Amino acid sequence: MNKRCYYEVLGCGKSASIEELKGAYRKLAKEFHPDRNPGDHSCEHRFKEINEAYDVLKDSQKRAAYDRFGHAAFENGGGGRSNGFGFDFGTSFTDVFDDLFGEIMGGRRGRRQNRGGDVRYDMEITLEEAYAGKNAEIRVTSAVACETCSGNGAEPGSKPETCTTCSGAGKVRAQQGFFTIERTCPGCHGRGKVVRHPCKTCRGSGHVQKERTLAVAIPAGVEEGTRIRLSGEGQAGLNGGPAGDLYIFISIAPHPIFQRDGYNLHCRAPVSFVTAAMGGAIEIPTCDGGRAKVNIPEGTQGGAQIRLRGKGMPVLRGGGMKGDLYVEIAVETPVRLSRKQKELLRAFDEEAGSGTHPESEGFFAKVKEFWNRAEEA
């Protein structure tokens, strides 16, 4: 189905201000509201369209995404680029509606209980910690229920009183044309209660900022960008609503030896040309703090990769499964040679016969052919 442009739906230009959009939305939503047009399916469709358009355009982030990517910004997660903007029409519809009109026909919900906000905490760990997992303690400051008043905002000895404007309902109703409009009570901001003697500790808000220490178990195998959620450890809710969540965003410090690629680790190990030629063994560190012996086969060339199975990173919640460690061999050319060493190498060179340097021999054979052909032409 071809979707109409959201701006077109609201009859506004692309540069319309939020006030213009809101005005257009109000007008159209009233006109096409199903209660005013019972049984008219085209009106119902328009009404949904209007709500969807306004829901996107009223939100500056969603609007920016829509301006850039069009409707594609909101299709099933939007193919990566619009992550975070995807939304569910079914629920946002109600939210939009509550925003502007309050709850039509009343009584679907009780007093507003607001969930507290989510909190982000950034944590940098070392690669070794990501390898082994870690029990960390973090200190976070967030809103918690005030102890002095147990979160109700009233000075001890007094109690919040029932709001006289709304008789405790948290909402007031008014007749407006065809609608019975309910809106949040202005006397108590939807709480249904009014605090006459505000608690001195929290100034009547019912919560205070508090630093807390939380224990966090970082599982083995976490990666850059892994998020760990501590449910209910975010900001305290309002009016007894649930607290938000705390999200720990993991980042991993660069390591002096290892580079990580998913479950696998890479490192570079220099080897003398003598060891590379004659074979031998070297020892390299592993991420668990131990050592691993790497056998260098005779005649190893620079750039060769040697794989150590199971010496990579653990797979997150992978039941002990681990990736591999790739060791890239760097053959080192010796420098600052003594006279004796030079003599020995000269002697070695004179001794080196055909077949000692197959790559060079192959290469120079091709070069010779090339020059021959160039001369013939």
Minimal distance, residue 159 CB to Zn ion, in Å? 13
CA angle 176, 181, 184 (to 5 degrees): 135
Does 163 participate in binding Zn ion (rule CB under 5 A)? Answer: yes
Write the secondary structure of 207-253 as one string of H (helix), E (strand) and C (coil). EEEEEEEEEEEECCCCCCCCEEEECCCCCCCECCCCCCCEEEEEEEC
Q: Is 158 in the site for Zn ion (CB under 5 A)?
A: no
Which of these, 222, 229, 242, 238, lies nearest to 120 by C-alpha position?
A: 229
Closest Cα partner for 96 from 59, 64, 134? 59
Residue from 37, 113, 158, 201 that binds Zn ion (CB under 5 A)? 201
Residue 202 binds to Zn ion (criterion: CB under 5 A): yes
Nearer to Zn ion, 113 or 201 (CB): 201
> Is residue 166 within the footprint of Zn ion (CB under 5 A)?
yes
Contact pattern for Zn ion over residues 101 through 140, marking x by CB under 5 A: ----------------------------------------
Cβ nearer to Zn ion, comparing 201 with 251: 201
Please select the residue that binds Zn ion; options are 148, 158, 251, 272, rule is CB under 5 A.
148
Alpha carbon distances (Å) from 324 to 31, 64, 177, 283, 311: 65, 43, 72, 16, 5
What are the CA-CA distances from residue 303 to residues 17, 306, 331 (Å)?
A: 60, 10, 8
Of the residues 165, 226, 251, 264, which one makes contact with Zn ion according to CB under 5 A: 165
When binding is defined by CB under 5 A, the residue of 29, 57, 149, 267 that contacts Zn ion is 149
- List binders of Zn ion among 177-196 (CB under 5 A): 185, 187-188
In the chain, what is the straight-line distance between the N-terminal and C-terminal CA atoms, in Å?
66
Nearer to Zn ion, 56 or 146 (CB): 146
**Angle, CA 160 vertex, CA 158 and CA 164 arms, to 5°:** 130
Range in contact with Zn ion (rule: CB under 5 A) among 107-115, 117-125, 199-207, 345-353? 199-207
Query: Which residues form the interface with Zn ion (CB under 5 A)?
Result: 146, 148-149, 163, 165-166, 185, 187-188, 199, 201-202
